[in-house]
């Protein structure tokens, strides 16, 4: 949490109970969560919390690099803690428990070369979504 507070300060964001609570939920869960998931988990402790506040905080934390946004089949907003913020990596998501784990191994260079040759295109970005069952759910 100490490190995240530092990042908030670097980004000129005030250290509010809401922001710390949102980060805390992600630290505790290790899952990728929708805004409503976060809202529901915090509602007991913070009964006056509003859903728009959750949306805004999640966007700020993403802009600060604390969270990453993940694309999912349901096309809802989803976020997860990012512990490798400055390193290229991908994410594995468990389809059962929604746990998200980082994968710092990538073979995309060969694909990129293939595309640039075959299609005569310029490859700039790639995102890989990996799904399956985590060690606990297997």
Partner DNA sequence: TCGCAAATAGAAATGATTTCTATTTATACC
Partner DNA sequence: GGTATAAATAGAAATCATTTCTATTTGCGA
Give SS3 for 94. strand
Residue 42's binding partner out of a second copy, DNA, none, with CB under 5 to 8 Å set by partner kind: none
Q: Which is nearer to a second copy, 3 or 110 (CB)?
A: 110
Q: Which is nearer to DNA, 62 or 89 (CB)?
A: 62
* Rounded (5°) CA angle 92-95-96: 125
Rounded Cα distance between 64 and 6, Å, is 11
Residue among 2, 28, 44, 48 that touches DNA (CB under 7 A): 48
- The interface region with DNA, picked from 49-57, 85-93, 114-122, 130-138 by CB under 7 A, is 49-57
Which residue carries 């908030």 as its tokens?
A: 8
Of 10-69, which residues contact a second copy (CB under 8 A)?
none
Query: Quick one: tokens of 2?
Result: 């100490």
100 closest CA partner among 66, 70, 73: 70
Determine if 87 is a binding residue for a second copy (CB under 8 A): no
- The interface region with DNA, picked from 43-51, 86-94, 118-126, 129-137 by CB under 7 A, is 43-51
Determine if 73 is a binding residue for a second copy (CB under 8 A): yes
Give SS3 for 92. strand
């Amino acid at each position: 949490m100490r490190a995240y507070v530092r990042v908030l300060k670097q980004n000129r964001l005030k250290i509010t109970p809401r922001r710390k609570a949102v980060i805390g939920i992600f630290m505790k869960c290790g899952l990728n969560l929708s805004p409503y998931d976060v809202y529901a988990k915090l509602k007991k402790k913070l009964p006056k919390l509003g859903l728009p506040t959750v949306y805004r905080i999640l966007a700020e934390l993403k802009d600060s690099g604390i969270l990453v946004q993940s694309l999912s089949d349901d096309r809802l907003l989803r976020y997860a803690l990012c512990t490798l913020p400055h390193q290229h990596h991908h994410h594995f998501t468990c389809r059962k428990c929604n746990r998200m784990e980082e994968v710092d191994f990538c073979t995309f260079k060969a694909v990129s070369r293939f595309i640039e040759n075959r299609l005569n295109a310029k490859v700039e970005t790639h995102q890989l979504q990996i799904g399956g069952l985590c060690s606990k759910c297997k």
